[in-house]
Chains A and B, each alone.
Chain A
Amino acid sequence: MSRPYESRVAWQNRMLLVPALVLLACFILIPAGAAVYISFTNDALTGFAAAHPQFVGLKNYARLFSDDGFWNSLVVTFFFVFGSSIVGQFVLGLASAVALRQPISFRPVFNAAILLPNAVPEVVASFIWISMLAGGKYSTLSRIVGLFGIPSQNWLESVPLLMIIVVNTWRGIAFAMILMTSGLSAVPAEVYEAARMDGATPRQIFWRITLPLLQPTIFLYMLVSTAGTIAIFGLIYTLTRGGPGGATEIIGIYIYNQSFTAYQLGYGSAVAVIMLGVSVALGAIYVRVLKVQV
């Protein structure tokens, strides 16, 4: 191929990327930069500050440290991520993946049923869970646990954080299961056979072989799932709006409430910058440690 052809192709490639670049720049990169800028101002949604935002330096960040609402949202976010993605989804997803590798019938049925909660939109998920959880003694959950003598209650008010953890676990088992299945299928069958020949029990096989060999997959899952769980908004907003009393106010909900309910755009942006930092750090670890091939 001649030189002009190559330079034309290079030019063509750059042109083909322009529309994608414009979209990403306008709606993701510039806003991300603007978040940093706004976080140094006293910008507001209404009132005097909305028309004349002032530069206030690090004031918003200083305020973060003494703001109970912010620390509360960090703690809630931690428990939410830990409870639903690190424990709930992971344990149930891994167990489902292992169970589905047994020679059993109805495998597609089991598979589809576990995938279904992941396929429905967030609003539908919270709509159907309200029927499970709200309404005291009439709710489905109250009626079920009533059989075991546990008193009925308004679950989203008595144990709200636990309930959003349960709902998010329900929604995300499929994600863990799919990843773990792909990880398990990469383990050669001979490894298991050899272990069985040597007289290993199923329990030994799981702890000594399956789990160690799954380690890269598990690490990948933890990273992707943590980043995804921190970003959740609609599911919690539609279930509790972060209430009661901030009990389910994960950081994304806190940003939204500060910005659009309390109208404090500058302060909300300072929280957003912290959240951006954490997420990008997770992404950077992902790229570095897993040596993504590009």
Chain B
Amino acid sequence: MIGLHKFTRAQAIAYGFLTVTVVFCLLPFLWVVLASVDPNASLFLSIPKGITADHFIKIFTAQKGARWFLNSLVTVGAATALVVIVGGMGGYALSRTNAWWKRPFLYAIILVRVVPPTALIVPLYKVMLFANGVMGALVRSIVPPDHVRSTMHIFGFVDGYFGLILVLSAMQLPLALWIIKTFFDLTPKEYEEAALMDGANVFQRIHRILVPLALPGLGAAGLLAFIGAWGDFLMPLTFISSPDLQLLPIGLFRAFQRANILDYGYLSALALLYMLPAVVAFGLARRFLVQTFTGGIKG
């Protein structure tokens, strides 16, 4: 008997409220989606008169979009890998140890998590400048002079990827340590001890026992580190200046600042490309989100 279903008052209110909320949440996306396929896209919402894939093609052929995307993928990917490895080692140690420093260390992690990056940006800049000087001297002593600049783009701390990767990792590390520690708390020690009795060495125990057991934890930590670093704006804004090294968020931001030569269709396509990995990772990480937001209190 379709259509004769009787709603309770509470249900009706729920539907009404949720519909309004969902419209509020989705409305801003309408423009970016339409503009990305509209041959005559403008800053304002309008129904496209035709549909084109040119804007997306342009990302990979004509403009710098693909380069920015690749830069982001490399730095954020490396930072995520580093967080998973370093966080995996540290999280394991934090879970297994009973030393006196365990509690202070864990409390410190919570406090470190609430430190706003903007409050650290000036001294961080100084630290990076110093490290860049050291690295520069090192590179100059090894590499022939005409390769110094390009080498510093990879290993430098200011306007170089190595420093950026380390900073992005450090910012995501506290949460990763917490999540991985919580996961190891739930994995029984007995497996390890059994493997130890059977004569497995450290690397075998890590490879055969620990990594497979901790995979969900490492995965969750990795996803959340990726989301955090992928969306980060402050660090690439402060530490990367060469156009060729630019990451996607800064490239996108600078492009829509130059009001006179705006190509909204192209920028919309680029924005969609930029948000895609974040949305996918967010979808995969959804069931871990309560933990993220609360710093593990429900862990």
Contact = CB atoms under 8 A, between A and B. Distances in A.
Contacts of B279: 116, 119-120
Contact of A182 (B107, B120, B290): B290
B103 interface: yes
Interface stretch (B6-14, B57-65, B135-143, B144-152): B6-14
B233 A237 contact: yes
A283 B113 contact: yes
A222 interface: no
B40 to A, nearest CB: 14
Contacts of B169: 23
B3 interface: no
B210 to A, nearest CB: 11
Interface residues of A, number: 100
Interface in B9-52: 9-11, 13-15, 17-18, 21-22, 24-29, 31-32, 35, 43-45
Contact of A280 (B15, B114, B289): B114
B246 to A, nearest CB: 12
Nearest to B26: A113
Interface in A6-50: 9-10, 12-14, 16-17, 19-21, 23-24, 26-35, 38
Contact of B123 (A9, A179, A269): A269
B282 A119 contact: yes
B28 A26 contact: no
A256 B24 CA distance: 31
Contact of A256 (B92, B121, B253): B121
Contact of B21 (A96, A103, A227): A96
A34 B295 contact: no
A104 B290 contact: no
A96 to B, nearest CB: 6
A31 B295 contact: no
A182 B287 CA distance: 11
Contacts of A283: 110-111, 113-114
Nearest to A131: B31
B32 A255 contact: no
Interface residues of B, number: 94
Nearest to B279: A119
Contact of A123 (B44, B85, B166, B233): B233
Contacts of A33: 123
Interface string A126-147: 0111111011001110010000
B119 A20 contact: no
Contacts of A195: none
A127 B252 contact: yes
A114 B27 contact: no
B134 to A, nearest CB: 12
A35 B275 contact: no
B136 to A, nearest CB: 17
Interface in B229-268: 230-234, 237-238, 249, 252-253, 256, 267
A200 interface: no
B209 interface: no
B31 A128 contact: yes
A99 interface: yes
Contacts of B119: 32, 35, 252, 255, 272-273, 275-276, 279
Given A115-B282, A127-B256, A280-B115, A287 B25 contact: no
A113 B114 contact: no
A223 to B, nearest CB: 9
A140 B27 contact: yes
B207 interface: no
A163 interface: no
Which 4 interchain pairs have the tightest Cβ spacing? A234-B233, A252-B118, A231-B116, A20-B90
Interface of B: 9-11, 13-15, 17-18, 21-22, 24-29, 31-32, 35, 43-45, 85-87, 89-90, 92-94, 96-97, 99, 102-103, 105-107, 110-124, 126-127, 166-167, 169-171, 173-174, 177, 202, 227, 230-234, 237-238, 249, 252-253, 256, 267, 271, 274-275, 278-279, 282-283, 286, 289-290, 293-299
